[in-house]
Amino acid sequence: MPVLPATRIDTHHHVVPGFYRDWLVSHGVESGGMPMPSWSVEGSREVMRSLGVRTALLSVSTPGVDPWPAADAAAVARDLNDFTTQIVRTHAATFGHLATIPLPDVDASVNEAVRALDELGADGVVLLGNARGTYLGDASYEPLMRVLDEHDAVVLIHPSELPGGAAPGIPAYAADFLLDTTRAAVSLCRSGVLDRYPRIRWILSHGGGIIPYAAPRVAQSASVNGKPLEGLRLLRRFYYDTALTPFVTSMPALLRFAKPGHVVFGSDYPFAAPWIGRSFAAMLRAYPKLSGRAINHSAAERLFPRLER
């Protein structure tokens, strides 16, 4: 396996602790129609070397803690965050982490966000596009948004299954994930969350779902006042990661729509197999040096200053 110069920061790199995977597998739970993969620190580090990644920000993917009974979800989130914290403390130069938050329980989510950001040193948090059908712009989430804003938090929005369930024969990861990300972004825009809490920095997974391609169509719905130009302004506030996105038909739309410096590298390991990550990463070489440098590390360094060299 070739080893590339380690310059990249991977903002979309998943961790699958054994205790977490075992419980989900024993209960027949998948991740958007994909079986739960095995994971190890060594496996992550090997993939990072092959992709030229110097630091990976670990996060738990879909389904997060949604499958657990509400009374247990907060405790599982704590265990997950303690697990990733220990990895980062052992491999500080190699990993960071984005904390799991047990929405839709707002009180527990506020408590865990404060603990993770203040006590555990988390680099940010990961939120699902919807938590049991409630999208991120919902008014009930205001206390959490307030805390995230006070902490200048970076939030990775990871898609989940749509509230209505997947269409027969079409797993959620294939199409619904893209719509869930788009719905979450529009929900945050039209609810006014982006303007009320301007210090939160948001990363949309997988190139922002369908936003770069369909922005003119969704812009009016993304506006607080129904004005398309306002909706476009808000949608361009987001950062966008490249997980499963660098393709000849998708990257041009993403780079034309996103603000300069608002595209960050993502591998989606281990849900994306190593060869898939290498294929998509290789496509990034086609882009100009300035864009490539921003995607690979400088945009992420602005979001996560402690990772700056």
Q: Residue 172's domain spans which residues?
A: 8-307
Q: How far apart are CA 151 and CA 154, in angstroms?
A: 9
pLDDT per residue as tens digits for the range 253-277: 999 999 999 999 999 999 999 999 8
**Domain membership flag for residue 1:** no
The pLDDT of residue 60 is above 90 = yes
Q: Is the torsion defined by CA of 16, 143, 110, 201 positive or negative?
A: positive
Q: Is residue 250 part of a domain?
A: yes
CATH code of the domain containing 232? 3.20.20.140
- Does 139 map to a domain? yes
Is position 201 within any domain?
yes
Residue 167 lies in a domain: yes
Residue 160, judged by CB atoms within 10 A of its CB (0-12, 13-18, 19+), counts as buried
Task: Tell me the pLDDT tens digit for each residue of 219-262.
Answer: 999 999 999 999 999 999 999 999 999 998 999 999 999 999 99
| Domains identified in the chain, total number | 1
